[in-house]
Amino acid sequence: MTEKGLCIVVSAPSGSGKSTICRRLLAACPDMEFSVSFTSRPPRPNEIDGKDYHFVSREDFQRRIERGEFVEWVENYGEFYGTSGRALQDLLRRGKDLLLDIEPRGAKEMKKKFQEGVFVFVLPPSLDELLKRLQKRGHETPEAIQKRFAQAASELEEVLWYDYAVMNEDLDTAVGQLIAIYRAEKCRTSRLLGAINHLCSSIKKEV
């Protein structure tokens, strides 16, 4: 019997290093897959359709909203982002462990509908460091950086409803903590009931 897959949702303010941590987690845990979200924004350089996002038009995205396809969706900086509920459940039923990169508003909506998920928030070591990381990006105007920083400060208040928090002061430590969360959650008895029941049944037959 195939155990249902585990779903880990990771959120963080812009500039917290979430994407780097997630890439390192996927590299260290080959049984885990990245859940590809839908977005209405155009691809950035080096982004691949179907790997980084499913890139669709704004009109297509709105039609998908009307059909109820998304387990969560948000509009962020004028663009839509969302997670397909059907694709998510299909992969989990097949025993796939999934990593989702979702901003706090979408993650909060998802937790209402998908409570078996594991929700992790990545924190910057300080607001000063967060601002420095945003400024180092170098491809945005000072006004855009300030807008992102203001939103980040607001998003930090959401951390208390998450299951876990990871402080990204040292990248290797933060990656190690996220890997530890994944491995610990895989060992929960509630996630291993099929194997446990099968083992107990075998024992009864032998006795």
pLDDT one-digit tens code per residue, 138-159: 667 888 888 888 888 888 989 9
Q: Let me know if 115 is exposed, middle or buried by CB neighbors in 10 A (0-12, 13-18, 19+).
A: exposed
Confidence of residue 200 (pLDDT cuts 50, 70, 90): confident
**Is residue 110 in some structural domain?**
yes
pLDDT of the residue at 26: 96
**Is residue 109 in some structural domain?**
yes
**Is residue 195 in some structural domain?**
yes
Average pLDDT over residues 117-121: 96
Locate 103 and state its tokens: 């901003």
Confidence of residue 204 (pLDDT cuts 50, 70, 90): low
**Is residue 70 in some structural domain?**
no
**Is residue 46 in some structural domain?**
no
Average pLDDT, the chain: 90
- Residue 194's domain is classified under what CATH number? 3.40.50.300
Q: Which of the residue ranges 4-18, 114-128, 161-175, 183-197 has the most confident prediction, judged by mean pLDDT? A: 161-175
Domain that holds residue 24: 7-34+97-206
User: CA-to-CA distance for 116 and 181, rounded, in angstroms?
Assistant: 14
